[in-house]
Amino acid sequence: MTASSLRSALSFPPMALLLAAAIAGCSKPPPVEEPLRAVKVMTVGTSTFDTAPEYSAEVRARIESQLGFRVAGKILRRQAELGQHVQAGQVLAQLDPQDYRLAADAARAQQTAAATNRDLASADLKRYRELREQNFISGAELERRESTFKSAQAQFEQAQAQLASQGNQASYTTLVADVAGVVTAIDAQPGQVVSAGTPVVRIAQDGARDVVFAVPEDRAALMRPGSPVTVRGWAGGAELEGKVREVAASADAVTRTYAVKVAIDAATSPALGATVYARPKALSQTGAAVLKLPTSALRQEGSGSAVWVLDKDTMTVRLQPVHVATADGNEAVIAAGITPGMQVVVAGVHVLAPGQKVSLYQGKSSAPATAAVVPAAPAATASASAGSR
């Protein structure tokens, strides 16, 4: 460096140097390119609905009665036990009968007094009739005696009816089974004071059995009396065939669902109260042509669902809203939003952004999988590569 150059550099203002350094420090760094994501995709194709809707149900007796005493009182003993099979006429429970026995004794005494008055009036009437025949008394006197006898007779009949009523009241202190069946509930215990009609024992009558389950409002209209229903036990066993016997006319106040009763053969019915699964054929869509996607392809977007669709020309993805109709096993049935031939991302959906470039990840043993195809629909291949984040 020459002497004139050195003098020129030393004469440059220090503030200008600081300003140049500050400007260089405030400049934006070069943008960082997003990583190229490897995703797993499948080609949308028409497939068939494989599963049928099943509803959890319970086996119940067609007729289930709540039995209670016809009179009020204190329960002395209860012979019925939960789950016990009882026969018609078998004693289920007993009230304290003492008060009713005393009332019956009082009615019996009133009947005896009324019978005595009647007999006395009858004897007087007989004697006055003889006197009338001899013209010793007038006809009006005989009529008064006849009226007295009729009144005594009526009082006797009233006392007789009262005694029969009190006798019935005393017999009502014993609760007996009116039909053969199984005790399904105990609603009162010994020592408890119950009023007339209070449920004490519930009995499921022997005979016909129903399978009862509930369906939502949009399915209730499809359930018709007489339509077939397949029933299978929760613990396995042979499947049973039944028919819809009754569909509730109004929805349950709490669940807003409609109860459906299916009649099955009592001889092959599972145990009373057993849990079973009902598969109504009226609601089955097995074999119908649908569009299905794995649940891993769905993304929650606002109040609905969406999927990432791959543009093969630009190798970018875009967000496509879809309407999910129902589920078929572990797959979602799509009602609208996609068409056969689209390529949808089924793995890595949580790390993508609209317009992002992606690549198809090729695994070590990746092999294209062919989606199920309805014979009448065009074939659709589901090519899938193993996905990674």
CATH topology of domain 97-170: Helix Hairpins (1.10.287)
What is the per-residue pLDDT across 112-169, written as a single tens digit (0 to 9) for each?
999 999 999 999 889 888 888 888 888 888 889 899 999 999 999 999 999 998 888 9
Query: Positive or negative CA dihedral for 270, 272, 274, 275?
Result: positive
Residue boundaries of the structural domains of the chain: 97-170, 206-286, 287-360
Tell me the CA distances in angstroms from 235 to 211, 239, 251, one per residue in order.
16, 11, 30
CA distances from 189 to 13, 81, 180, 194, 368 (A): 106, 11, 22, 10, 69
pTM surpassing 0.75?
no
In the block, tokens 């043993």 appear at 365
**C-alpha span between 362 and 133 (Å, rounded):** 132
| Average pLDDT over all residues of the chain | 82
Is the pLDDT assigned to residue 373 strictly greater than 60? no
Q: Domain 287-360 classified CATH 2.40.110.10?
A: no
Q: For residue range 264-301, what is the model confidence (pLDDT) as tens digits?
A: 988 888 888 889 999 898 887 776 778 888 888 888 87
| pLDDT, tens digit (0-9, with 9 covering 90-100), for 169-227 | 989 999 999 999 999 999 999 999 999 999 999 999 998 899 999 999 888 888 899 99
| Joined tokens for residue 19 | 């300003």
Contact 278, 257 (CB under 8 A): no
What is the residue-wise DSSP string for 4-59? HHHHHHHTS-HHHHHHHHHHHHHSPPPPPPPP-EEEEEEE--EEE------EEEEE
Q: How confident is the model at residue 111 (pLDDT cuts 50, 70, 90)?
A: very high
- Report whether 167 contacts 106 (CB < 8 A): no
Structure tokens at 363: 């695994």
Superfamily designation of domain 206-286: Efflux pump adaptor protein, beta barrel domain (2.40.30.170)
